[in-house]
């Protein structure tokens, strides 16, 4: 089956007026997701909600779709309202001991620095090694030892586009008795993510970026090993495994379900999950390999356009920067001023830490990149 990319673009009204190359900030929500969210809300508005248990059945189908996208089982998937909250659930659930370490990268998204730094009250040390253009996989791997309980990394760094070799990191962590948690908020949806080949224990994705879903809707992958190691820290009426028996809810100590849903707490963001599920189903219908190939094609043209405009790319000098985010420095130019000037030309990009950041997706086409190049040359 071939993909009609014109029909794909029709799902995103913003593309009619804008050259939108900023999925790393917010991905546009396709029309089919708006329909799904509105439909769920209208049921609450028009019906007496006596079938609310069916909403959880529908949410379970979204779990199954999420699992298919990342090579997991539906029982491995829980819903989170944000990556920061999901990470807090994980870090607060681990039975930390004085002398334990969390290992991460410098210049990560603040979630992944702030949260482990708060563990000092347990005697836990947060150790970070250089990221960005100073990243060295050998230095990171050599920092993993038997005191490293958790390695915390992003699938793609938000400011540089660094894509560290997760599978090698996960293997080193396992060899030393630790776990790996990946924040896939940047990159998932644009890059192939398979938890089995990556070998990760935990993965978080707030799906409002390249997963094209509303804010407040995301997924947590927790392997069986991770679920055995990390008890839930949110307790609610759904903490007992027989919570669906609402006529006779359990009133003793909860017998926790084994599934990753044990981490969710109570009532879910049903409309957000419905929208997210519509996006997942659409991606599966289009075929993830086709989508990822399309992203690769657009990324290649993006790099060419930035070079043609005089941009210097880290990936031209260093390995591990072949991701869904392309960043460039323009010597003598204020990177923060460039997105403002480009905005006046209906081109949406961003700047982070002295670099222009361009984050296209499968809905972009060659003409979008040509407009980016022309606008950049005009501005520069």
Domain boundaries, the chain: 5-21+288-379, 38-284
Instruction: Tell me how many degrees the CA angle 351-352-357 measures, rounded to the nearest 5.
Output: 50
How many residues appear in the chain? 380
Query: Strand 179-183 and strand 218-222: pairing?
Result: unpaired
pLDDT band at 42 (very low <50, low <70, confident <90, very high): very high
The pLDDT of residue 151 is 98
Cα–Cα distances in angstroms (integers) from residue 112 to residues 25, 159, 347, in the given order: 17, 13, 30
Half-sphere exposure in the Cβ direction for 260 (13 Å, CA): 28
Cα–Cα distances in angstroms (integers) from residue 20 to residues 88, 104, 370, in the given order: 32, 31, 12
pLDDT band at 163 (very low <50, low <70, confident <90, very high): very high
Q: 3-class secondary structure for 113-181?
A: HHHHHHHHHHCCEEEEECCHHHCCHHHHHHCCCCCEEEEEEECCCCCCCCCCCHHHHHHHHHHCCCEEE
For 92-106, write each residue's pLDDT tens digit. 999 999 999 999 999
| For residue 211, pLDDT beyond 80 | yes
The pLDDT of residue 132 is 85
Domain 38-284 annotated CATH 3.10.20.90: no
The pLDDT of residue 285 is 97
Q: 154-182: buried (b, 16+ CB within 10 Å) or exposed (e) per residue?
A: bbbbbbbbbbbebeebbebbeeeebbbbb
Instruction: Tell me how many degrees the CA angle 72-70-12 measures, rounded to the nearest 5.
Output: 140
Q: 3-class secondary structure for 94-113?
A: CCCCCCCEEEEECCCCCHHH
Provide the terminal-to-terminal Cα distance of the chain, rounded to the nearest Å.
42
The domain made up of 5-21+288-379 has a fold known as 3.90.1150
Mean pLDDT of 212-234: 97
Pair 349, 358: CB distance under 8 Å: yes
pLDDT band at 265 (very low <50, low <70, confident <90, very high): confident
For residue 316, how many other CB atoms are within 10 A of its CB? 11
Pair 190, 23: CB distance under 8 Å: yes
Task: Return phi, psi of residue 314, to 5°.
Answer: -60, -40
| For residue 79, pLDDT beyond 90 | yes
DSSP 247-315: GG---SS----SSGGGGS-SS--HHHHHHHHHHHHHHHHH-HHHHHHHHHHHHHHHHHHHHHTT-EEGG
Average pLDDT, the chain: 97
The pLDDT of residue 66 is 98
| Angle (deg, nearest 10), helices 288-308 and 366-379 | 20
For 176-209, write each residue's pLDDT tens digit. 999 999 999 999 999 999 999 999 999 999 999 9
The pLDDT of residue 133 is 87
CA distance 94 to 155: 22
Mean pLDDT of 350-358: 97
For 275-304, write each residue's pLDDT tens digit. 999 999 999 999 999 999 999 999 999 999
Residues in CB range of 14: below 8 A, 6 or more apart: 20, 28
Mean pLDDT of 109-134: 95
The pLDDT of residue 112 is 96
CA distance 348 to 207: 20
């Amino acid at each position: 089956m071939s993909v009609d990319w014109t029909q794909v673009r029709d799902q995103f009204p913003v593309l009619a007026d804008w050259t939108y190359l900023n999925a790393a900030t917010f991905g546009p929500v396709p029309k089919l997701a708006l329909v799904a969210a509105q439909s769920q809300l209208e049921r609450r508005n028009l019906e007496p909600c006596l079938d609310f248990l069916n909403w959880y059945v529908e949410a379970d189908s979204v779990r199954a779709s999420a699992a298919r996208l990342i090579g997991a089982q539906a029982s491995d998937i829980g819903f989170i309202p944000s990556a920061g909250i999901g990470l807090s659930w994980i870090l607060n659930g681990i039975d930390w001991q004085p002398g334990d370490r969390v290992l991460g990268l410098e210049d990560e998204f603040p979630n992944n620095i702030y949260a482990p730094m708060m563990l000092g009250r347990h005697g836990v040390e947060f150790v970070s090694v250089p990221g960005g253009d100073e990243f060295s996989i050998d230095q990171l791997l050599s920092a993993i030892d038997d005191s490293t309980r958790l390695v915390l990394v992003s699938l793609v760094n938000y400011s540089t586009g660094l894509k560290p070799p997760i599978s090698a990191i996960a293997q080193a962590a396992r060899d030393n008795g630790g776990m790996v948690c990946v924040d896939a908020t940047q990159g998932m949806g644009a890059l192939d993510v398979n938890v089995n080949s990556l070998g990760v224990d935990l993965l978080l994705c707030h799906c409002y970026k390249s997963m094209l879903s509303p804010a407040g809707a995301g997924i947590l992958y927790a392997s069986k090993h991770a679920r055995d190691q990390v008890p839930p820290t949110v307790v609610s009426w759904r903490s007992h495994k027989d919570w669906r028996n609402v006529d006779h809810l359990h009133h003793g100590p909860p017998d926790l379900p084994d599934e990753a849903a044990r981490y969710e707490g109570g009532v879910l963001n049903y409309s957000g999950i419905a929208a997210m599920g519509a996006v997942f189903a659409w991606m599966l219908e289009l075929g993830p390999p086709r989508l990822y190939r399309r992203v690769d094609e657009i990324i290649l043209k993006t790099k060419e356009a930035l070079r043609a405009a005089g941009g210097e790319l880290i990936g031209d000098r260093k390995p591990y920067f072949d991701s869904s985010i392309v960043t460039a420095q323009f010597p003598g130019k204020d990177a923060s001023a460039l997105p403002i000037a480009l905005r006046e030309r209906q081109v949406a990009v961003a700047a982070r830490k002295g670099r222009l950041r361009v984050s296209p997706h499968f809905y972009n086409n060659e003409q979008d990149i040509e407009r980016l190049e022309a606008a950049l040359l005009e501005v520069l």
